[in-house]
Amino acid sequence: MDFTFSQDQLLFQANVKSFFTNEVTPEHLREQWATDSGRSSALWAQLVELGLTSITVPETYGGLGMNELDFVLLAEECGYYALAEPLVQTMLLGVPLLAALDDGHQALKDTWLTRVVEGAARLAVGQPGNPLVADAHVADLLLMPHGDEVHALLPRDIDLTRNESVDPSRRLFRVDWTPSAATCVARGEQARQLWAITADRGALGTSAQLLGLAKRMVDLAVDYSFERKQFGKPVGSFQAVKHLMANVSVLIEFAKCPLYRAAHSLANGSTGQAVHISHAKLACSEAALLAAKNAIQVHGAMGYTWEVDLQLFMKRAWALDKEWGDRGAHKTRVRSALFSGALTPGAGATFAG
């Protein structure tokens, strides 16, 4: 299986990275903490200008019609810069969920998918079993689970209660609402399938962000290790410190292929996509959590303090580790596939098919 990205995909990633480097800085993130919404309409408008709100929208609605494999590198950059705006949730979860609704809801799709492309709408998606919804306060349309149903809700249909997160940039809310026939857009087997694929997309987007966060924490730790000196030498020159970062770098490299394979499987509807996504989530979570732990040690155990930039990315990694399935849930899915015979063990079969 060839995981080589096209020149267009890599160029798009490079352009996004260049933009984020200048606009999504730690200083910007801290400034947003002090605002009521924690979000920036000006930044969202810039994301629209870059075409990022068109990526996964089908061409029928004015979008670019791209898929999860096209978006995974951009989600990785969203993690690297700890982007607070709900770009991943809107483009990787909300848009595909809306687009997959049947023709009976064509007017809903026409209205909201077009508005997403224009930058006039942000979407929030509830996770079955999780009472908290990220960015529900800025969402123009919420797609919520209720048993074996999918409901589309407007801000007037809901009541929100803020819930604090370990990550100050994350805005989590309990959403109280009353299900009705008017808000229901899918039910039964169709709804179950929609939530299953949405959960996979959520895990993929979270995995990509975790990999980006791991890379950023390594970069911050390496930079700091050359700034701080002991015994007249940068601490980064000491072998013990090098080993801390080398151990994380190994996990990052080992996580890349499972992540990109999972994106490929999801984009192409592979029969093994569920296990591939769980593999990616486990690998990326492991890399991000070790990066947080070792980067704190490199910083002399001060990396978690408020004034150090590392804590921005470390806390995001802690939060995303349990988003769209914790490690226990994903290990269970891999174990079930392994012992049922659906998954062939061995290095030779790791990336087959």
Q: What is the pLDDT of residues 98-136, one digit of tens each?
A: 999 999 999 999 999 999 999 999 999 999 999 999 999
pLDDT of residue 84: 96
In the chain, where the domains are located = 191-349
For residue 313, pLDDT beyond 60: yes
Q: What is the mean pLDDT of residues 286-292?
A: 96
- The answer on pLDDT for 229 being more than 60 is no
Model pLDDT, residue 297: 85
User: Stretch 64-89: mean pLDDT, rounded?
Assistant: 96
Instruction: Print burial letters for 200-234: b (CB count within 10 Å at least 16), e (below 16).
Output: bbbbbbbbbbbbbbbbbbbebbbebbeeeeeeeee
CATH hierarchy code of domain 191-349: 1.20.140.10
Strands 141-145, 123-125: pairing is parallel
pLDDT of 28 above 80: yes
Mean pLDDT of 146-152: 96
Q: Tell me, what amino acid is at 79? A: G
Average pLDDT over residues 180-185: 96
CA-to-CA distance for 295 and 304, rounded, in angstroms?
Answer: 10
The pLDDT score that the predictor gives to residue 341 is: 78
| pTM of the model as a whole | 0.93
Q: Does the pLDDT of residue 90 top 80, yes or no?
A: yes
